[in-house]
Chain A
Amino acid sequence: MTVGALLSIRELVVEFRTRDGAVRAVDGLDLDVDPGETVAVVGESGAGKTVAMLAALGLLPAPPECTVRGQVLFDGRDLLTMGRKQLRQFCGRHIGMVFQDPMTSLHPSLRVVDQVAEALLVHHKGMATTKARDRAVHLLAQAGIPRPDRRANDYPHQWSGGLRQRAMVAMAIANQPRLLIADEPTTALDVTIQAQILELLRSARDQIGAATIFITHDLAVVAQLADRVSVVFAGRVVEAGDVRDIFASPTHEHTVRLLAALPSPDRPTVRTRLDGAGPGVLRLDNLVTHYRRSRNSVVRAVDGVSLDLDAGETLGLVGESGCGKSTLAKTVLRLVDATSGTVFFGGQNITTADRRALRSLRPALSMVFQDPYASLNPRMTVEQIIAQPLRTFGRNRSGRVGELLEMVGLPARLAFRRPAALSGGERQRVAIARALALSPRLLVLDEPVSSLDASIRGHIIALLNRLQRELDLAYLFITHDLALASQICDRVAVMYLGKIVEIGSVADIYSRPTHPYTRALLSAIPVPDPARDRPDGRIVLSGEVPDPAAPPSGCRFRTRCWKATQICAVEEPALIQRSSGPGHLTACVHPEPSDRSDPPRAAAVQRA
């Protein structure tokens, strides 16, 4: 045991008994954490990092379902040999934990305040309930929940993901633990919210002086947060060391792989574009899609979007959850009817086309969805899935399915397997093959790689790029990941609350962003370089995304914008060319200057 270490894990082994035999999730894991330091535990999903932490805290099932061996020394005492009663002294008191999914990690039927108060009451037997509640409210306020006293009677389902995660953090630090464990705390959140929560964790940690273990699959997130990094692969630590060393000169091949998979927004991959892109394929003219959510509210998912796309070109549609990008995709494909405005495909008006005309247009429009499991019928074989569109149009000549499989790089023998037997990457390839079956001209891709592991993403993106060149396809690429967009898009449109706030070439958007929201998005991308500090300061947006059924008047972004002025509440800014080059349009009356000479200060107060 390292002298002075707060937490010392030695030779941890965790075995599960499953239907298919014994599985070793953790295979001899060692970890040291000194008081006050932050250690990042990094690895791909399934590597065993979460299981290890849960084993340490005794949160795993009892034998024989699960057996744990090894040593977990906290302040010299072995947690694994302690009785339940003693262990509970540590859980929630000296050790606090923040889990990944705030939606399922909070008790649905108890008020949030009561759950936070419970963390206090469990460890302070004599405390009065009212006092605990008051402290809980105070903790929530500290965690950045606006007006927690007013929301004292709220239940978790009434709060957004970001707010719930703040509540989780408040619960974890309630008793000023000496060790804080954060298990993928930001993975389920939007990029700008992610930045907020990271900021919160950082300040919470500094405030109580706790040591922190930060578990994640994304190295970039911890680059500027961690002191040391431990890389986990197949249940053991394969490399550990100072964060700068790990980034600068990784030794183990797995670490190298993890680092290589990180995109960097400052150096967008330059695509080889086709010279002279073909004729216009898609044109949206002031498209509006509203849908009724309940008796009194209509969600204005898409609220006046105009854009165009040429053959062989990729237009990226970037935005966070709730901005309307998925609804836009569905409207383009007429899975959902537009409320007003037009969609022109190759000159033809899709929005008003009748059923027969629509049917004849269908082959030319295609889509690849986000969830590779949900987008394939689990009861059909790969061959049947790909053949469905062909059969619908009577074009199932023999060998076509084989051709398509080859096109997407899948071996023919997979044709008779079911989706459940395939990996995520393979499934997505099947989805792409199906989308290409009828030789479309436009492919709408809705977050096609978000559910895949970082190392697979690259391959799929490369495949998509190749197919575009070979088949002269136009892509509408929807994603929340601005960094990813740079790898495949020619132009990018940034969406917020149903409107496009900025549109331009990749170079424009990344090097000369003019809309404040774009800047915030770029800034929220974690920089995978511990040595470098941000040149423009970190922008952390305040507040939450407003309800799309009741968007703010004037400029919709003004409630979170640090530059908002009177005029922003009155007039909605038009999407026009402002300060920078041609084809680069912004909807803001205070666009960022091209030289970015005034770095903004941090969070502004939320306006109503």
Chain B
Amino acid sequence: MFASANWLTRPEAPGSAVAGWRRLTSRTPGVAGAVTALVVLSMGALAPLLAPTDPSAVDGPSLAPPSRAFPMGTDALGRDVFSGVIYGARTSLIVAGGVGVIALLTGAAVGLLSGYRGAWVDDALMRITEMFQVLPRFFLALVVIAFFGPGLDRLVLVLGLTSWPLLARVVRAEVLTLRHREFVDAARVYGASSARIVLREILPNVLPSAIALLGLVVAQAILIEASLGFLGLSDPNMISWGAMASQAQQFLRVAWWLSLFPGLAILVTVLGLNLVGNAMTNASVGRR
């Protein structure tokens, strides 16, 4: 007896929106992920309301371990780590939102155009996509920061403009599959224009997988921002989880909480986004 047999589940994928939702929610990881990601990101939005103190206030004891007063301890300057973590979510939220929007718009547009038009348009766009795809994002961000100085705006721009290729690829692949599906032919038979077909028939079918991938792409962006913060290159006006963790380097022996909590915050956020992305991918595959 063997571990798997997908040919058994081949016929008739059930799945209106209700069944799809049922499948999504019946998978606890997906729900847990969605909830987590939502919690963290809204933490960022509501930071001033949630944080007990101003994160840059230096009135706590220096390097104090976690306690009732300071649930996540304090750093060398006596700042509350807990408040810092909450405000750090704000940075991640901005990164997630900004990169997500840019990547989705660019990637979807390129993918749709490329997949539907085909021929030389497809070739040209795919060449361009490949070139953007090989650019090492992290190092390009470093170069930009070296030239223009650190800042969240330019980071979001650089990451957004280099994260769309994967989305474009996935969207294009979906469009290619759908383009030859008979319902597209059917639309052409009753005289629908190309624009109408792309927008009304193809796009709604492509969006779920694009959004699923977006979760993963955005998670990657958050990780890059954290790494840059760790190297001391984050936006000086914003609190970055990575920057918090970099302080921990010198005090590792004595203050493990400086490293653990910011790092954990990142882990939890990225994990949540990954889980939601995976769950959405599974759900949309099952529907086909």
Binding site for B on A (CB under 8 A): 16, 18-19, 45-46, 51, 58-63, 65-66, 68, 330, 333, 335, 358-359, 362-363, 365-367, 369-371, 374-380, 388-389, 392-393, 417-418, 420-421, 431, 434, 437-438
Is the pair A367, B186 in contact by a Cβ cutoff of 8 Å? Answer: yes
Additional 14 contacts, C-beta under 8 A, given A60-B8, A375-B186, A420-B13: A51-B8, A61-B1, A61-B8, A63-B1, A330-B185, A335-B188, A362-B191, A374-B182, A377-B205, A380-B204, A388-B187, A418-B16, A420-B14, A420-B15
Is the pair B1, A62 in contact by a Cβ cutoff of 8 Å? Answer: yes
Given contacts A62-B3, A335-B189, contact A370 B182 (CB under 8 A): yes
Interface residues of B in 161-209 (CB under 8 A from A): 181-183, 185-192, 196, 200-201, 204-205
- B-side contacts of A375, CB under 8 Å: 181-183, 185-186
Tell me, yes or no, whether B287 is within 8 Å of chain A by CB: yes
What 6 A-B pairs have minimum CB-CB distances, sorted nearest first?
A62-B1, A389-B190, A362-B191, A375-B182, A369-B182, A418-B16
Would you give the 0/1 interface string for B11-51, flagging 1 where the beta carbon is closer than 8 Å to chain A? 11111110100010010000000000000000000000000
Tell me, yes or no, whether B139 is within 8 Å of chain A by CB: no
Q: Which label, helix, strand, loop or mixed, suits the secondary structure of the A interface?
A: loop
Tell me, yes or no, whether B148 is within 8 Å of chain A by CB: no
Is the pair A421, B14 in contact by a Cβ cutoff of 8 Å? Answer: yes
C-alpha gap A37/B96 in the complex (Å): 68
Tell me, yes or no, whether B2 is within 8 Å of chain A by CB: yes
Number of A-B pairs whose CB atoms are under 8 Å? 100
Is the pair A16, B8 in contact by a Cβ cutoff of 8 Å? Answer: yes
C-alpha gap A370/B205 in the complex (Å): 21
A sample of 22 cross-chain residue pairs with beta-carbon separation below 8 angstroms, ordered by A number, consists of A19-B23, A19-B26, A45-B11, A59-B5, A60-B8, A61-B2, A61-B3, A63-B1, A65-B4, A333-B189, A335-B185, A358-B191, A362-B190, A371-B182, A374-B183, A375-B182, A378-B287, A378-B288, A392-B191, A420-B287, A421-B14, A437-B190
C-alpha gap A359/B190 in the complex (Å): 9
C-alpha gap A393/B201 in the complex (Å): 17
Partner of A366, one of B14, B181, B190, B201: B190
Residue in B4, B5, B190, B191 whose Cβ sees the most chain A Cβ within 10 Å = B190
By beta carbon, the residue of chain B nearest A368 is B186
Instruction: Give the Cβ gap from A387 to chain B, nearest Cβ, in Å.
Output: 11
Binding site for A on B (CB under 8 A): 1-5, 8-9, 11-17, 19, 23, 26, 181-183, 185-192, 196, 200-201, 204-205, 287-288
By beta carbon, the residue of chain A nearest B208 is A379
C-alpha gap A417/B204 in the complex (Å): 17
Instruction: Give the Cβ gap from A574 to chain B, nearest Cβ, in Å.
Output: 33
C-alpha gap A544/B191 in the complex (Å): 38
C-alpha gap A208/B93 in the complex (Å): 71
Is the pair A379, B189 in contact by a Cβ cutoff of 8 Å? Answer: no
C-alpha gap A331/B191 in the complex (Å): 15
- A-side contacts of B187, CB under 8 Å: 388
By beta carbon, the residue of chain A nearest B5 is A61
Is the pair A61, B4 in contact by a Cβ cutoff of 8 Å? Answer: yes
By beta carbon, the residue of chain B nearest A84 is B1
By beta carbon, the residue of chain B nearest A104 is B7
Is the pair A377, B183 in contact by a Cβ cutoff of 8 Å? Answer: yes
C-alpha gap A19/B11 in the complex (Å): 15
Residue in A46, A58, A379, A418 whose Cβ sees the most chain B Cβ within 10 Å = A379
Instruction: Give the Cβ gap from B204 to chain A, nearest Cβ, in Å.
Output: 5
C-alpha gap A366/B185 in the complex (Å): 11
Partner of A388, one of B14, B181, B192: B192
Instruction: Give the Cβ gap from B190 to chain A, nearest Cβ, in Å.
Output: 4
- A-side contacts of B4, CB under 8 Å: 61, 65
Residue in B8, B11, B14, B205 whose Cβ sees the most chain A Cβ within 10 Å = B8
- B-side contacts of A18, CB under 8 Å: 9
C-alpha gap A94/B287 in the complex (Å): 40
Instruction: Give the Cβ gap from A406 to chain B, nearest Cβ, in Å.
Output: 20
- A-side contacts of B5, CB under 8 Å: 59-61, 66
By beta carbon, the residue of chain A nearest B22 is A19
By beta carbon, the residue of chain A nearest B17 is A418
Is the pair B16, A393 in contact by a Cβ cutoff of 8 Å? Answer: no
Is the pair A434, B186 in contact by a Cβ cutoff of 8 Å? Answer: yes
C-alpha gap A474/B19 in the complex (Å): 40
- A-side contacts of B26, CB under 8 Å: 19
Instruction: Give the Cβ gap from B184 to chain A, nearest Cβ, in Å.
Output: 9
By beta carbon, the residue of chain A nearest B20 is A420
- A-side contacts of B205, CB under 8 Å: 377-379
- B-side contacts of A62, CB under 8 Å: 1-3
Instruction: Give the Cβ gap from B280 to chain A, nearest Cβ, in Å.
Output: 15
Instruction: Give the Cβ gap from B80 to chain A, nearest Cβ, in Å.
Output: 46
Is the pair B183, A367 in contact by a Cβ cutoff of 8 Å? Answer: no
C-alpha gap A18/B13 in the complex (Å): 13
C-alpha gap A392/B200 in the complex (Å): 12
- B-side contacts of A60, CB under 8 Å: 1-2, 5, 8
C-alpha gap A51/B5 in the complex (Å): 12
Partner of B181, one of A61, A333, A374: A374
Is the pair A366, B189 in contact by a Cβ cutoff of 8 Å? Answer: yes
Is the pair B192, A421 in contact by a Cβ cutoff of 8 Å? Answer: no
- A-side contacts of B17, CB under 8 Å: 418
C-alpha gap A68/B14 in the complex (Å): 25
By beta carbon, the residue of chain A nearest B26 is A19
Instruction: Give the Cβ gap from B198 to chain A, nearest Cβ, in Å.
Output: 13
C-alpha gap A366/B191 in the complex (Å): 10
- B-side contacts of A330, CB under 8 Å: 185
- B-side contacts of A359, CB under 8 Å: 191
Instruction: Give the Cβ gap from B56 to chain A, nearest Cβ, in Å.
Output: 49
By beta carbon, the residue of chain B nearest A45 is B11
Instruction: Give the Cβ gap from B176 to chain A, nearest Cβ, in Å.
Output: 14
C-alpha gap A19/B4 in the complex (Å): 15
C-alpha gap A414/B61 in the complex (Å): 68
Residue in B4, B5, B189, B196 whose Cβ sees the most chain A Cβ within 10 Å = B189
Instruction: Give the Cβ gap from A100 to chain B, nearest Cβ, in Å.
Output: 10
Instruction: Give the Cβ gap from A282 to chain B, nearest Cβ, in Å.
Output: 15
Instruction: Give the Cβ gap from B195 to chain A, nearest Cβ, in Å.
Output: 12
By beta carbon, the residue of chain A nearest B202 is A377
Residue in B14, B26, B182, B205 whose Cβ sees the most chain A Cβ within 10 Å = B182
C-alpha gap A563/B262 in the complex (Å): 84
Instruction: Give the Cβ gap from B218 to chain A, nearest Cβ, in Å.
Output: 24
C-alpha gap A526/B272 in the complex (Å): 58
- A-side contacts of B287, CB under 8 Å: 378, 420
- A-side contacts of B188, CB under 8 Å: 335
C-alpha gap A362/B287 in the complex (Å): 32
- B-side contacts of A66, CB under 8 Å: 1, 5
C-alpha gap A330/B184 in the complex (Å): 13
- A-side contacts of B181, CB under 8 Å: 374-375
Is the pair A376, B3 in contact by a Cβ cutoff of 8 Å? Answer: no
- B-side contacts of A65, CB under 8 Å: 4
- B-side contacts of A379, CB under 8 Å: 204-205
C-alpha gap A363/B192 in the complex (Å): 11
Instruction: Give the Cβ gap from B221 to chain A, nearest Cβ, in Å.
Output: 29
- B-side contacts of A438, CB under 8 Å: 190
Is the pair B1, A392 in contact by a Cβ cutoff of 8 Å? Answer: no
Instruction: Give the Cβ gap from B36 to chain A, nearest Cβ, in Å.
Output: 23
Is the pair A46, B11 in contact by a Cβ cutoff of 8 Å? Answer: yes
